[in-house]
Structure 1
Amino acid sequence: MARVMVVEDQSIVRQGIAMMLKAQGLEVVAEAENGKVAIEYLKTLSVDVIMMDIRMPEMNGLEATRIIHKQWPQTKIIILTTFNDDEYAVEALKEGACGYLLKTADSDKLVSAVKSCLKGGMPIQEEVTARVIPKLLYNAPKKEEAIQIPLTPRELDIAKCVGMGKTNKEIAQELFMSVGTVKNHITVILQKLEMRDRTQLAIYAVKNHIS
């Protein structure tokens, strides 16, 4: 069972999200009102996934994501936001968050996002994809001016799939290989591109028009 922390400054919203997750069989091990409190919890708690708000007092979600991803890289972070928080959320994705959901998401989407992140996916709610992708593409090189990418054709195929938010299992099925082989390829890709995780790879794939 996934161990989840909900980080949200509005108590009613926080409690509501926690109740939805519990009702779907997930274990909510902590609720925090800001990033600073969340970090304190992580010093003593084992957490698989964090549902992270962006705008919070004392320490916002962007700063908390940056610190948590550096100190506890195994903990997945899903950004919970509003349309007005797009810029912050995109920065959080760049800092290591693995997903992006609206606060209006229902319980099924919340649970699906948790499961996807744990499998290596990058869930972004459909309603906001059109708003997020252009921001990730901002100042990206045009396709005809794309930089030389030091990857083999097979590695490019895998990078493309990662950029589309697919899990290792989905990539394996699409490219007719084992999950273990996909993991090995991704490890090599990250080493070649000097990246720390697949979130960075996903953003890189979008920015550089890997297709």
Structure 2
Amino acid sequence: MTAGTLPLSGRVRVLVVDDNDGFRGSLAALLGGEDLEVVGEASSGIEAIRLVNELAPDVVLMDVRMPQMDGIETTRRLKAQHPSLEVVALTGLEEERAVREMLVAGASGYVLKDSEGDEIIHAVRRAASGGALLSPDVTPTVIEQLLEALERERRRTRQLEIAQEALLERGARRQQLIGRVGHELRTPVTVILGLAQTLRRGGLDDQQLDEVLDTLVLRTEGLARLVRRFEAAIEAGLTEWANVTGLAKEVGARDPRIRVEAPLAPVMTALNRTAGIRILEELVENALAFSPETSEVVIRVSNDDAPTRGSGWGSAWPGSQHERWTAT
């Protein structure tokens, strides 16, 4: 018989896990009913994992707070090894965050340690039948926290989707640019190659030689201008999904007078990283140059609805972005 599989007799095999010997013994005595059988007791998470493998219980009544390995990590490991095993968390009223983490780890439900005995028995029976039990004393707050966690995951997922879209768009623009470069460079390169072959064959008089050399110089200068134009287009047009907070900290680490103020969560936006760093460096250099030597320069990175402020941002920093950088 494997852990989490109900025996043919119909009795629910229970493992009680709690580091308090007296409380654990009381729970074991409470659960020794007609349809419940306490097959073992564990005083730690490590012992619980061993006993689950040896005794194959149907339900584990798990204390959340234990030394060495707490109930959250123990539940996570047990559910990974025995997906059908049911775990009921034992928690205090003040441990709402721990309850949320236990549910995420795979617990079927939870009851408070100061609950009536009938409530604890009901929680074990409910878990054994495949149901979930959430204590009404802490359920509203925990559900609210779970909804907030889901919303954070939704926003994070959307950020990843935006980043993927930006990368795909960047790749498409790069392919278009490569096509333009190939098309527009082909003609001047062909002309220059033809002139070079003419010079190689020789047989030109002085006037013809001067004409070929003049044409070669003009075509070469035109090619150089074309290359510079494409370099500018690449710098201004190709963007990437960049960590603005990371860029600010990278620049700020170069001088002890610079301090970076930024939200805990990284601020992300689509920009040309090289151009963005260069612009920020210029802003910071100006601020350092015109500030007293004893004062600090603050780089503030925010993620609000204020427009981008500053001078000389250029096309590398789209004004439509909500992120704002200021050097003061």
The answer to whether residue 141 in structure 2 is matched with residue 110 in structure 1 is no
Query: Counterpart of 2:305?
Result: none
**Structure 2 Cα separation of the partners of residues 40 and 12 of structure 1:** 21
The answer to whether residue 30 in structure 2 is matched with residue 20 in structure 1 is yes
Alignment deviations for residues 108-134 of structure 1 (CA, whole Å, 9 cap, x no partner) = 111211221122211011111122111
Give the match's secondary structure for 1:73: coil
The answer to whether residue 78 in structure 2 is matched with residue 68 in structure 1 is yes
The answer to whether residue 22 in structure 2 is matched with residue 32 in structure 1 is no
Query: Counterpart of 2:93?
Result: 83
What does 1:167-178 align with in structure 2 at a 5 Å threshold? none
Give the match's secondary structure for 1:120: coil
**Structure 1 Cα separation of the partners of residues 36 and 149 of structure 2:** 40
| Structure 1: gaps (5+ residues) | 148-211
Q: Are the aligned partners of 1:24 and 1:107 in contact in 2 as well (CA < 8 Å)?
A: no
Aligned CA RMSD, in angstroms, stands at 1.9
Query: Counterpart of 1:58?
Result: 68
**Structure 1 Cα separation of the partners of residues 131 and 83 of structure 2:** 15
After the TM superposition, which parts of structure 1 deviate over 6 Å for at least 4 consecutive aligned residues? Answer: none
Query: Counterpart of 1:130?
Result: 140
Inter-CA distance 106–137: structure 2 relative to 1 (3 Å threshold): same
- Higher-Rg structure is 2
**Structure 2 Cα separation of the partners of residues 4 and 141 of structure 1:** 36
Q: Normalising to structure 1: TM-score of the pair?
A: 0.64
Q: Are the aligned partners of 1:21 and 1:111 in contact in 2 as well (CA < 8 Å)?
A: yes
Give the match's secondary structure for 1:105: coil
**CA positional deviation for 1:84:** 2.2
**Structure 2 Cα separation of the partners of residues 6 and 74 of structure 1:** 17
**Structure 2 Cα separation of the partners of residues 5 and 12 of structure 1:** 16
**Structure 2 Cα separation of the partners of residues 69 and 117 of structure 1:** 14
Q: Are the aligned partners of 1:24 and 1:111 in contact in 2 as well (CA < 8 Å)?
A: no
What amino acid is the match of 1:85? E
**Structure 2 Cα separation of the partners of residues 3 and 49 of structure 1:** 6
| Structure 2: gaps (5+ residues) | 1-10, 158-328
Question: How many residues were matched structurally?
Answer: 144
